[in-house]
Amino acid sequence: MSIRGKVQNEKGEGLPGVTVTVKGSSLKTSTDQTGIFQLNTVNKGATLIFTAVGYASAERVLSDASFLNVQMKEAISDLEEVVVVGFGTQKKENLTGAVSSVKFENQLGDRPVNTIGTVLQGAAPGLQVTQTTGEPGGGFSMNVRGTTSINGGTPLILVDNVPFEGGLNLLNPADIESVSILKDAASASIYGARSAYGVILITTKKGKRNTPVTINYHNNLTINTAPFLPEKASPLETVQAYKDAGAATYYSGQQINTWLDLLQKYKENPDAYPMGYATNNGTRYQLKETDEMGDMLDNNGKQMNHNLSVRGGGENSSYGISMGTTNEDGILVTNKDKFNRYNVRGFVNSDIKPWLNVSLDMLYNNSERTMPNGSMWFQAATSPSYNPIDTIHINGEVLPSGTGANFIRLGSVNSTKLSNIRTTGKILITPIKQVKLNAEYTFDRINGLYDNYSKRIRYANSAKFGEEYNRNSSEYTKYNETTNYKALNIYGDYTEQFGEHSLKLLAGFNQEERYYEQQYSSIAQMINDDLPSLSQGVGQPVTRDSYDEYAVRGFFGRINYSYLDRYLLEVNGRYDGSSKFPPKHRWGFFPSVSVGWRVTEESFMSSLKPYLSELKIRGSYGTVGNQAIDTYAFLPGMSSFKSTWLDNNTQPVTLNPPLLVSDNFTWETVTSKNIGFDFGFFKNQLTGSFDLYTRATKNMIAPGAELPAILGTAAPVQNVADLKTNGFELALNWNGEINNEFKYSIGANLYNYKAKITKFNNSNNLLSQYYVGQRIDEIWGYQVDRYYTPDDFINLNDNYVNGTLKEGIVKLEGYNPNPGDILFKDLNNDGVINAGNSTLDNPGDRSVIGNRSLQYQYGINGNFQYKGFSFSFNMQGILKRDLYLNNDLTNAYNYEFGTIYKHQLNYWTPSNQMSEYPRLYISGFRQTNHTSNYRTSTFTLLDGSYLRLQNVTLGYTFNNQWIKKLGVNNFRIFASSENLYTWSKLPKGIDPAADSKSNGLGYPYMRSYSFGLNVNL
């Protein structure tokens, strides 16, 4: 058959250049200048696909009609999407504040994650997300636009417009629809007291009206492995390093030579020592190489996620229920590291009357997390590679060796159980079309139960080969916590259109109350080490309790005005009171204003529309209050504790005298200025935004003027410090389509900030305190010149030690250097390396050598679709970061009985004077020189920049007719991987994305491989 037709836009205008393709064939044409098209020899029932740049594609199935009318809708660009803001929504094109929005479902996709933090890493400019641990169920920390106050603080997180008190790992990512990040005062101030550090608005999925029941099931199986494990030196390399270090605690020089000789023989003929050790003159020498960390790992941890949801709605109501389970087993062979979470969420919304709507939202989360007791991972990562792993024969008895692996196998399990129930009821009254009145009440209760047991284990010391215990006695601790949170929001808005003028008014009242209490009990000396219980201990019991309570009350308002949808104005105000401040200083008023100009809506820009689709200039200025202080900072208090045992076998309770407090402090005020540009090119195929901002924190709470030392106490806190932060943010996104079959999008973002102290009470300019001009996170240290060489000394002995420095060679104060030790630059030219008096005026030979902050953070993402196939990736990284870790992976032989790693073997010896690492020392033998070599300096600073391929996902969606005949609307299978590869300059074993000084020596971050399916009915 032959078919003709016309393609029009939503205004009824013909669209030229629209591509018309017969699905599944190469037959295609395009519309003429009036929107008319014609195709010949097309089969009845064929599907026509209509595509055009800037419009959403459309499909039509041919019937008997010979003429087809098709209407195409303009594609909704990033600038036209609706964004959730405080107490409402706005079109992104009308926003005047600094707001980033993440389409969570697009960002999450099929990724095998159990917390939203993973999804948000690198997803939005200005949002810093850092994983705090790799343990099952581990959490994340978040930061918006850098440091706001020296008192710390985190963004305010709201779920469906109500603050969420539980940790983010309690939320199921599958329930989340979108995330908005409010970054400046103009957008965040509506939330008042806790919004100084930015606001993260999480909107959950709900049923939609006039839609049939939709049932969705999502499942994935994930295999977790540890990608960042340190590589230890072999026993032969380790013992050779002992010798080069000059001594070892349990071996004289002759014994070390014997050990080296035995290790060489074992390397050449292992069968000569089938037990893996040798005995010589009554001394035991371990020869077999062991992999304690590998023996401790299954390295095949499994995670299973199930998510089921039912959603839908009728003409006057909508509803939804979702359930999810996450079961994650860690990578330890003992199966003691686990995380289990169960989520249930229900939602119903209904029109009781044409003017009355009610809704109820209920959420229940339950989780349990278990981990072995103690720093077992540290022991396994730092023990020498010759340590026996399994058992040792001592005096005819078989005992476990004292290794981290055995402590994990034999030790106890600590557990954390959390349950959270949250209920929100809402009433919406619409007396007239322009007015909406809202009342919301939320009750949120979180219960936590913690069990910690430190078990007494009898073992054989692998260095002394003698019987020992890991601790003097067993100790059992149990405590529970309860948090009750209540929130009431009452607000109304009025919307009106006056010709070319648009006006929206919002006013409301907010009140929040939070009560926290804890009961703690502990007892030592279990009767039976395998049955811990508070009633089974014979030691002195310890019990205590604590509580914390505060309230916030505020009145808020907002005015939105636009003229011709071209000139935009927003004014916010909040009058807040907080019980954390003294009664006379609890209230503050915090206003903000922002403006916008949609330049491309001007008539003089019409000729550029085909190229410059959208350009908006916006600016904001506003103030937010910060209350991130202790709840009772204005009240004197006395802490209690149990003293040491007295002669009469009593342990009395003692009280500390109260510290000095002030009743004359109030809100820290955070004032931000922001100028931004939102733009779109080529019919919004390329969109983006750029922001420059300045944020000044005034009246920060800090210790006041120094008091005379005779008082024996510190000055009380007052509003006496200031901080200033400057930064920028850039985001770009490109959407494209080729022949209607291949669609793709690529996005990238980059941001950076710098924070400096502009006021602080530090009259002596001590470097140990903040000082004016200090950049937050700066690192003071020494600059490396070179190694000391033998030519710098006289009277060296045969081991190149105990010499005397020649005249004119710079000395190290407090140390007697040897060849191979680090010689630092003498910045003040006094001939001695020292720290001066550790003040800004006299820092000695120290200077600012780096900065710990994450600088120039960025994210890159891509999504590609071809027919039923899809491929996506996410990358994130940091262009500059200075790390000073001061641990075993950075400092060779950092502690007695420690180990040395492969990357540390290039150390100084008389025959290797151009080495990467300085001369070796072992605890107990010139350890002070080790301390000097590994002090904070340009040598110990590491380059923490990196680029990580965070996620790669490949999937296929079956959309065949036979699938639909089975009643399945959509069936999808996928494979996904997290933390797939990292480009970094750090030594092996250190994860550059970690934010911990135990980096590399704590539970590693996982690399995961996932397979799953998604069924939609």
Report all structural domains of the chain as residue ranges with CATH numbers, in order of start. Answer: 3-71 (2.60.40.1120), 82-223 (2.170.130.10), 235-288 (no CATH)
Question: If you search the block for the tokens 């060849």, which residue do you land on?
Answer: 819
| Cα radius of gyration rounded to whole Å, the chain | 33
DSSP-derived 3-state class of residue 235: helix
Between 974 and 140, the higher pLDDT residue: 974
> What average pLDDT does range 227-249 have in this prediction?
82
Backbone angles phi, psi at 665, to 5 degrees: -130, 160
**833 with 935: CB under 8 angstroms?**
no
DSSP annotation string for 899-949: --BGGG--B-BTTB-S-SB----BTTBSHHHHHHHTSSBTTT-EE--EEEE
Spacing of C-alpha 257 from chain mean position: 49
Strands 338-353 and 317-329, sheet pairing: antiparallel
Strands 832-833 and 811-812, sheet pairing: parallel
pLDDT value of position 249: 46
pLDDT value of position 926: 47
pLDDT value of position 471: 65
What are the tokens at 598? 């949609």
Confidence of residue 997 (pLDDT cuts 50, 70, 90): very low
Residue 331 has pLDDT above 50, yes or no: yes
pLDDT value of position 629: 83
Q: How far is Cα 568 from Cα 561, in angstroms, rounded to an integer?
A: 6
> What average pLDDT does range 845-850 have in this prediction?
96
Backbone angles phi, psi at 76, to 5 degrees: -80, 115
Among 669, 676, 849, which residue's Cα sits nearest to residue 751? 676
Confidence of residue 623 (pLDDT cuts 50, 70, 90): very high
**800 with 820: CB under 8 angstroms?**
yes
Q: E strands, 162-293, where?
A: 162-163, 176-182, 199-204, 211-225, 277-280, 283-286
What are the tokens at 184? 């400046």
pLDDT value of position 43: 83
Longest Cα separation, the chain: 108
pLDDT value of position 738: 85
Q: E strands, 666-788, where?
A: 668-681, 686-703, 717-738, 742-759, 778-782, 784-787
**Rounded to two decimals, what is the model's pTM?**
0.84
pLDDT value of position 345: 94
Distances (CA, A) of 120 to 290, 382, 705: 40, 33, 42
> What average pLDDT does range 464-479 have in this prediction?
73
Distances (CA, A) of 881 to 570, 853, 941: 38, 6, 10
pLDDT over 90, % of the chain: 45
Strand-pair partners of 436: 493
Number of helices and strands in the chain (H, E): 10, 56
pLDDT value of position 318: 92
Q: How far is Cα 171 from Cα 307, in angstroms, rounded to an integer?
A: 13
Confidence of residue 21 (pLDDT cuts 50, 70, 90): confident
pLDDT value of position 417: 94
DSSP-derived 3-state class of residue 241: helix
pLDDT value of position 47: 85
Q: Is 586 left (phi over 0), alpha (psi -120 to 50) or beta?
A: alpha
Lowest-pLDDT range of 304-313, 527-536, 568-577, 829-838: 527-536
DSSP-derived 3-state class of residue 960: coil
Residue 106 has pLDDT above 50, yes or no: yes
Strand-pair partners of 468: 459
Average pLDDT, the chain: 86
Q: E strands, 72-210, where?
A: 82-85, 88-91, 99-103, 127-131, 140-144, 156-159, 162-163, 176-182, 199-204
Question: If you search the block for the tokens 């107990």, which residue do you land on?
Answer: 924
Residue 392 has pLDDT above 70, yes or no: no
Beta-carbon-side half-sphere exposure of residue 764 (alpha carbons within 13 Å): 10
Question: If you search the block for the tokens 């058959």, which residue do you land on?
Answer: 1
Residues contacting 34, CB < 8 A, separation 6+ = 6, 14, 16
Among 737, 841, 616, 811, which residue's Cα sits nearest to residue 94? 616
**775 with 726: CB under 8 angstroms?**
no
Spacing of C-alpha 907 from chain mean position: 36
> What average pLDDT does range 927-937 have in this prediction?
84
Residue 998 has pLDDT above 60, yes or no: no
Strand-pair partners of 222: 303, 1010
Query: Is residue 674 classed exposed, middle or buried when 0-12, 13-18 and 19+ CB atoms within 10 A define those classes?
Result: buried
What are the tokens at 525? 């000396």
Residue 309 has pLDDT above 90, yes or no: yes
Confidence of residue 137 (pLDDT cuts 50, 70, 90): confident
> What average pLDDT does range 320-325 have in this prediction?
95
What are the tokens at 410? 């034999």
pLDDT value of position 634: 84
Q: How far is Cα 861 from Cα 948, in angstroms, rounded to an integer?
A: 12
Residue 616 has pLDDT above 90, yes or no: yes
pLDDT value of position 153: 81
